Structure 1
């Protein structure tokens, strides 16, 4: 294997010296790496086609909706409305968790988690509870 690597490196150096890489599309720009390791292998091509057409896979769309709901929650000042929105957000997350084999990990970005935790207060029902 080491011999093959040396040969490949040698040919790459020779091509660079000849200028074979000078007119490559995207030269000087970073490569866009798409991590699709969480997508099942049999769905990768379909997801790539959908992505190129401007559609999101259901999992990503649901995550986007959750982040939007969290952002909207941050702007609420009415305690009752905030409480309703938190309940709605919890239902969304529970629904996604039940549909997936792995839970939604909102704690990956601790900023969202902290924002929600800071904004949520316990709402006490002062109306008759009976």
Structure 2
């Protein structure tokens, strides 16, 4: 497999030197990757609907909320109120982390068993 990789790299380098990649559509722009190959086929449509609807998993939703609260607290004049807000935010983030660790302990062996093919 290593030799195949070298051969592929050689052909890509030659194509770059010959300018074969210069006039491709979207050249110089970021690629929009919609790679859902890691999502099971039965769930792809549901995941796409949820993504298009703006749904976020609880972990990411809490993170977005934390950034919004951080921005709001920057406009609060009272240092005591800022400290209280940051303390509350810190507690919520710690609670989210604890609940995730609890589930990870329960499901980690099952996930390992599934991925190793010992079903």
Scaled by the length of structure 2, what TM-score is found?
A: 0.51
CA distance in 2, matches of 1:57, 1:25: 34
CA distance in 2, matches of 1:52, 1:18: 38
Judged with a 3 Å threshold, the aligned counterparts in structure 2 of structure 1 residues 24 and 42 are, in CA distance, closer, same or farther, namely same
Give 2:100's aligned residue: 100
Task: Say whether 1:74 aligns with 2:61.
Answer: no
Give 1:127's aligned residue: none
Matches within 5 A, 1:1-130: 1-13=1-13, 15-16=15-16, 17=18, 19=20, 21-31=21-31, 49=48, 50-51=50-51, 53-79=53-79, 81-101=81-101
CA distance in 1, matches of 2:88, 2:51: 28
What residue ranges of structure 2 are gaps of 5+ in the alignment? 103-119
Q: Residues 63-111 of structure 1: CA distance to partner in whole angstroms, max 9, x if unpaired?
A: 1111221222222123553354234313322321222229xxxxxxxxx
DSSP-derived class of the 1:75 partner: coil
DSSP-derived class of the 2:101 partner: coil
The 8 Å contact of residues 73 and 82 in structure 1, kept in 2 or not, is answered as yes
For these two proteins, the number of residue pairs brought into alignment is: 94
- Choose between structure 1 and 2: higher helix proportion: 2
Scaled by the length of structure 1, what TM-score is found?
A: 0.48
CA distance in 2, matches of 1:80, 1:11: 63
When the two chains are superposed, the root-mean-square deviation of aligned CA atoms in Å is 3.8
